[in-house]
């Protein structure tokens, strides 16, 4: 339906742009002051196969929108100066910008080197530490949400605290079978605020909570929550490289895009200059 209404809007704009003179050889279906809407202009706006009720509503909406747009345009025409109504330059500027953008996008698609090594990421990280100050607290964590009626909670209390590989395997199997939600990847960083959305922890000082808690067990009326905080970084400290890796990749890619486009522009200029296709007539 959104696509249909967008198409209708384009037709409305196009029909309002023409010189408002009635064509006696065409069937008029609506009029707004000196503007006319003709039957042949709406012949293709109703998609094939839609119910007659829907098509009638769509047609009514189109006509109502056409009338409103026509009246607004005529109001604007009567209140703007000729200079203000001359949009040729704006349209040409927009056309040039759109063509340039499309060409640059295609150039980037064909020529951009998207391979970024870990060494390049690390170099950028080490060279720009001020860019990677944490705005939020982050944690490495093992987390389990489970029903109070689930079996084997005593074993779960042992496993979620353990670094033993066998215990970790037992924990993973148990969570897949019984847990309602869990997170066991303690090598990845998470936003602490995102975790607080999952666990009913009440704290007025998040930094102090992280500094003073390792194993956390809380409960509500239906669930138990088990939390093993394996590591944390406080906001305003340096964000770890592993947390910023994707962000740095995007920064480097954007920098390469700008460099590629800048080089293209300079090459085009130099080529025209070398072939004597540039002339400047003022000093």
Residues 170 and 221 occupy one common structural domain? yes
Residues 118 and 79 occupy one common structural domain? no
Residues 123 and 247 occupy one common structural domain? yes
Looking at residue 174, its pLDDT comes to 96
**Residue 60: which domain range?**
2-86
- Read off the pLDDT of residues 225-246 as tens digits, 9 standing for 90 and up: 999 999 999 999 999 999 999 9
CATH number at residue 186: 3.10.50
Residues 214 and 176 occupy one common structural domain? yes
Residues 155 and 198 occupy one common structural domain? yes
Residues 160 and 75 occupy one common structural domain? no
Looking at residue 237, its pLDDT comes to 93
Segments of the chain scoring below 70 in pLDDT: 1-21
Residue 19 falls inside a structural domain: yes
Residues 268 and 195 occupy one common structural domain? no
3-state SS string over the chain? CHHHHHHHHHHHHHHHHCCCCCCCCCCEEEEECCEEEEHHHCCCCCCCCCCHHHHHHHHHHHHHHHHHHHHHHHHHHHHCCHHHHCCHHHHHHHHHHHHHHHHHHHHHHHHCCCCCCHHHHHHHHHHCHHHHECCCCEEEEEEEEEECCCCCHHHHHHHCCCCCHHHHHHHHHHHHHHCCEEECCCCCCEEHHHHHCCCCCCCCCHHHHHHHCCEEEEECCCEEEEEEEEEEECCCCECCHHHHHHHHHHHHHHHHHHHHHHHHHHHHHHHHHHCCCCCCCCC
Residue 175 falls inside a structural domain: yes
Last residue of a domain, one of 28, 54, 86: 86
Domain count within the chain: 3
């Amino acid at each position: 339906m959104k696509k249909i209404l967008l198409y209708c809007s384009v037709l409305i704009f196009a029909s309002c742009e023409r010189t408002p003179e009635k064509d006696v050889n065409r069937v008029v279906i609506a009029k707004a002051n000196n503007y006319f809407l003709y039957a042949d202009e709406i012949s293709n706006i109703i998609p094939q196969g839609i119910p007659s009720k829907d098509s009638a509503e769509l047609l009514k909406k189109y006509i109502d929108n056409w009338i409103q747009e026509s009246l607004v345009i005529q109001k604007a025409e009567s209140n703007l100066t000729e200079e203000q109504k001359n949009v040729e330059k704006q349209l040409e500027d927009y056309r040039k910008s759109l063509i340039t953008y499309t060409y640059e996008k295609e150039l980037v698609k064909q020529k951009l080197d998207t391979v970024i090594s870990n060494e390049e990421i690390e170099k950028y990280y080490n060279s720009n530490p001020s860019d990677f100050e944490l705005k939020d607290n982050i944690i490495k964590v093992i987390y389990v949400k489970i029903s109070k009626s689930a079996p084997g909670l005593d074993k779960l209390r042992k496993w979620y605290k353990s670094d033993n590989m066998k215990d970790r395997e037992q924990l993973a199997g148990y969570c897949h079978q019984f847990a309602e939600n869990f997170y066991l990847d303690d090598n990845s960083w998470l936003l602490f605020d995102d975790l607080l959305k999952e666990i009913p922890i009440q704290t007025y000082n998040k930094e102090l909570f992280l500094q003073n808690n390792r194993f956390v067990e809380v409960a509500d009326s239906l669930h138990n929550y088990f939390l093993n905080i394996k590591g944390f970084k406080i906001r305003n400290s340096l964000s770890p490289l592993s947390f910023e890796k994707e962000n740095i990749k995007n920064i480097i890619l954007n920098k390469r895009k700008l460099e590629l486009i800048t080089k293209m522009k300079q090459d085009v200029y130099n080529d025209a200059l070398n072939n004597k296709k540039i002339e400047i007539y003022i000093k």
